[in-house]
Structure 1
């Protein structure tokens, strides 16, 4: 049975465009603002939204997202508060929601409880950046039982044997890391990325979405015909640093305008 995420990518493909998925940190600066940002992104026609669940030891996140996580944790965000907030708007906000949470965070909370609450709160999939390869099959089964897709990351440095395990247990889409390094805005894309995507395409029919380092419309154009989707994190999250309580509408408009430019690039690329 095709999942909500898979259908979203199919819809984008039928429209001859790339699916666009921005990333937001839940709870930065507060969970109410997070929901307002999601609404603003929804109005711009984004296809999916990746929701980061803050934790104290980010693995592959660069300084912008790390700082965002620390701000959210400092403001008292919790997993339950995130799920409660999204549950309230699950029938209102249209883009497909995908959680991005550490396996260690999910394990401490309770894996089955996390998956159940994610499903109940309107999420369609889970990205688990630190999921051990030898445990991915079991987690994938539990995720499917909860009605969710398990999305995993593949980098240019992922060993071939691990790539094979990942694509077998991955559903929804494969999160293709564009560079060997952490998240963050970059001027260009790695020239080796095309070969990396070609190799992955030969191994799986699951859609390929590229993240890490993408922030500009002209970078999106370079992915046309190679990838199925684009993920943008730091370029969105760094704008959250500007929230000071009195400029809420201005920052929300800036985020919306940026998202609009990327949505248009995905359509025109």
Structure 2
């Protein structure tokens, strides 16, 4: 059983939901990212999504776009991201899912990437622009190394397509709570709950919800019906505002702690 599957199974036994924070690797630099990854674990993250910075994102709003630019300007590379994960893995078993776009992985080389990611201790990969029909040159290498290729579902995904994607899902399904880009507007928990309950009815893996979850209140509302709650832009915004400040760790810790308390209070 993978670390992701073990984590969700444990949470289910405990009657708890997963907190899945996202941050952009290399924002403002990889040394800071490494420290923040440890901090996220300490404050109760169950799974961590770590963004691979990319110059031409299609799903990320301004906050994460700016974080990617800062990371690229600081010299962050995919090889450097994997080295960071490898160092962090020596101190934690918390699952780490790399999230981004296919181009950096393709340039790295699909087989070489899968081998290096496994060595580093990566547990999952979520590529926004890689549909399952085109994953054949990468997914077999990931499966050989027990790295889950996480699938996205959107509000606009047709019902039959949802069932098709869920049938082949690995790790967890990531349900995008709204159309548009990350951090673009407020969520509607009531409407999302209907969609998630339907998906959970035919999904063989847990369902996590992300996009637009900006506060502990949002996280608590989503935790009432989802298996996991993904928080990205709100956390990345804090890092962008305090990245050069000595109180960065304190600000991040306080926010993640509040998210944890909100989810656990459901």
> Normalising by structure 1, what TM-score?
0.93
Matched, 1:252 2:249: yes
Name the counterpart of 2:175. Answer: 176
- The 8 Å contact of residues 136 and 166 in structure 1, kept in 2 or not, is answered as no
- The 8 Å contact of residues 189 and 219 in structure 1, kept in 2 or not, is answered as no
Deviation at 1:152, TM superposition (A): 1.2
2:62 and 2:232 mapped to 1: Cα distance?
12
Alpha-carbon RMSD across the aligned residues, in angstroms, is 1.7
Uncovered stretches (5+) of structure 1, i.e. residues with no partner: none
- The 8 Å contact of residues 150 and 169 in structure 1, kept in 2 or not, is answered as no
Name the counterpart of 2:48. Answer: 49
2:145 and 2:243 mapped to 1: Cα distance?
38
1:238 and 1:228 mapped to 2: Cα distance?
25
Which range moves more in the overlay, 175-184 or 190-199? 190-199
Deviation at 1:144, TM superposition (A): 1.3
1:264 and 1:190 mapped to 2: Cα distance?
18
1:206 and 1:191 mapped to 2: Cα distance?
22
> What is the total number of aligned residue pairs between the two structures?
266
- The 8 Å contact of residues 163 and 203 in structure 2, kept in 1 or not, is answered as no
2:216 and 2:243 mapped to 1: Cα distance?
28
Deviation at 1:171, TM superposition (A): 0.7
> Normalising by structure 2, what TM-score?
0.94
Deviation at 1:220, TM superposition (A): 2.4
Name the counterpart of 1:38. Answer: 37
2:87 and 2:221 mapped to 1: Cα distance?
38
Name the counterpart of 1:163. Answer: 162
Which range moves more in the overlay, 229-238 or 82-91? 82-91
Matched, 1:96 2:95: yes
Q: What secondary structure sits across from 2:89 in the alignment? A: coil
2:58 and 2:22 mapped to 1: Cα distance?
16
Deviation at 1:88, TM superposition (A): 2.0
1:244 and 1:260 mapped to 2: Cα distance?
19
CA offset digits 1:79-126 (Å, max 9, x no partner): 111111221231213421110021222112111111211111111111
Q: 1:121 to 1:8 in 2, by over 3 A?
A: same
CA offset digits 1:200-249 (Å, max 9, x no partner): 1122121000000012222223224421000000010001112454x23x
2:208 and 2:146 mapped to 1: Cα distance?
21
